[in-house]
Chain A
Amino acid sequence: MNEKRDEPSTGKQGAESPDSGWWQSTVRGVDRGTISTGQTAKWVRGLGRLLFGDRLGLSLFLGAVLWLGALWRVGIFIQDTVAVANALANVAEGRLALVDSPYSLFLGPQPGIVEVDGTLYGRNYGHVLLALPLLWLLQAGTALVGTKLLLAGAWSLALVAFATQAGTLTGRHEVRTVLSGVALLVFGGNLATASALPDGVLALIALQLSTLFVAAFIAVFLYRLLRRFHGRSVGLAAGLAVVLATPVGFWATIPKRHVLTAGVAVLALYLFAVSRNQPDRRGTLARGGAYVALGLFTTVHPFEAFFLFVVFAVLDFATAPTYSVRSLVVIGVLFALSLVPFFVLNTLISGNPLQSPRILSGSGGIEFGFDPASDGGGTTEPTPDAGTDPSSINSPGNATETPGNATTTPGNATGTATDRAGNGGTATATPSDGGESGANPLMALLATVVGFLGSLLAFVGDLVDRSVAALTQPRRLYHTFVRSGQIPSEVSTISMNVNDYEAIELTLLESLPLAAALVWLPVAALRRVRERVAGAGITTPRRQTDLLAAGFAVVFAFIYLPRLPLHSQITVRYILPVMPLLVYGVARCSVVRRALRDSPQWVIGGYLVTVVAGGLAVTAALSVLDPAIGEAMQFHALVGLATAGAAALVVGGWPLYEDTRVAAVGLALPAGATTVFLLLAKIEYFAYRLPGDDSPQAFVLDVVRVFAELLPIVHT
Chain B
Amino acid sequence: MSSDGPPVVRVVVAAIVLVMLLSGPGSSIEFAKDRASLGDGTASVTVVEPTEDHVRVTDGRFGTNVSYVRIPDLIVDVEQVDGRPRVFYQVTVPELDIRKQNDEIVRSTGRLRVAISDRALQPGTDVTGAEARLVVRVQSYTGGTVVMNRTVELRRE
**Which residues, 183 to 206 on A, are CB-close (under 8 Å) to B?**
183-184, 187, 191, 194-197
Contact assessment for B2 and A197 in the assembled complex, using a CB-CB cutoff below 8 Å: no
Determine whether the beta carbon of A630 is less than 8 Å from that of B102.
no
Q: Is A637 a contact of B62 with CB atoms below 8 Å?
A: yes
Other than the given A195-B33, A486-B63, A630-B66, 12 more pairs (CB < 8 A) read: A142-B25, A164-B1, A167-B5, A173-B6, A181-B8, A392-B117, A486-B60, A502-B64, A502-B66, A628-B60, A630-B60, A631-B68
B11 CB to nearest chain A CB (Å): 8
CA separation between A697 and B12, bound complex, in Å? Answer: 28
Chain A residues lying within 8 Å of B99, measured Cβ to Cβ, are 391
A177 touches which of B8, B63, B121 (Cβ 8 Å): B8
Contact with B along A20-40 (1 / 0, CB 8 A): 000001101100100000000
| CB atoms of B122 and A497 under 8 A apart | yes
Q: Does A634 contact B (CB under 8 A)?
A: yes
Whether the pair B34, A195 counts as a contact (CB closer than 8 A) is: yes
B16 touches A156 (CB 8 A): yes
Among candidates B12, B64, B119, residue contacting A486 with C-beta atoms closer than 8 Å: B64
Residue A328 interfacial (CB < 8 Å): no
Known: A176-B9, A387-B117, A634-B63. A161 touches B73 (CB 8 A): no
Assembled-state Cα–Cα distance A177/B12 (Å): 10
Tell me, yes or no, whether A485 is within 8 Å of chain B by CB. yes
Question: Complex Cα distance A187/B12, Å?
Answer: 10
C-alpha gap A714/B115 in the complex (Å): 10
Do the beta carbons of A187 and B19 come within 8 Å of each other?
A: yes
How far, in angstroms, from A631 to B70 measured CA to CA in the complex? Answer: 12
- The answer to whether A163 touches B103 (Cβ under 8 A) is no
Chain B residues in 8 Å Cβ range of A388 = 102-104
A150 at the interface (CB under 8 A from B): yes
Residues of A within 8 A of B68 (CB): 628, 631
Min CB–CB distance B23 → chain A (angstroms): 4
Is A604 interfacial (CB-CB < 8 Å)? no
Cα of A716 to Cα of B117 in the assembled complex, Å: 5
Contact partners of A519 in chain B: CB under 8 A: none
A161 to B19, CA, bound (A): 18
Query: Chain A residues near B12 (CB, 8 Å)?
Result: 156, 160, 180-181, 183-184
Are A634 and B120 within 8 A (Cβ)? no
- A503 at the A/B interface (Cβ < 8 Å)? yes
Set of chain B residues within 8 Å of A502, measured between Cβ atoms: 64, 66, 120
- Find the A residue at minimum CB distance from B89: A389
The answer for the CA separation of A692 and B50 in the assembled complex, in Å, is: 33
Residue B151 is within 8 A (CB to CB) of chain A in the complex: no
A153-B117 contact given A196-B34, A391-B101, A631-B62, CB 8 Å threshold: no
Minimum CB distance partner of A168 in chain B: B2
In chain B, positions 68-101 with a C-beta closer than 8 Å to chain A are 68, 73, 99-101
Residue of A nearest to B100 (CB): A391
Q: Report the separation of the CA atoms of residues A26 and B1 in the bound assembly, to the nearest whole angstrom.
A: 8
The CA of A392 and the CA of B90, in the complex, are separated in Å by 12
Instruction: Known contacts A496-B122, A715-B73; decide if A627 and B32 are in contact (CB<8 Å).
Output: no
Enumerate B19-67 residues with CB–CB distance to A below 8 Å.
19-21, 23-25, 31-35, 60-66
> What are 26 A-B pairs at a CB distance below 8 A?
A25-B4, A25-B5, A146-B32, A147-B32, A149-B19, A160-B16, A176-B9, A177-B6, A181-B12, A183-B12, A183-B16, A195-B32, A386-B100, A386-B102, A388-B104, A483-B63, A484-B63, A485-B64, A486-B123, A500-B119, A501-B121, A501-B122, A502-B66, A503-B60, A503-B63, A634-B62
Contacts of B23 in A (CB 8 A): 145-146, 149
Residues A160 and B13 in contact, CB atoms below 8 Å apart: yes
Q: Which residues of A contact B13 (CB under 8 A)?
A: 157, 160
Interface residue A325 (Cβ < 8 Å from any Cβ of B): no
A137 contacts chain B at the CB level, 8 A cutoff: no
Contact of A145 among B1, B21, B34 (CB under 8 A): B21
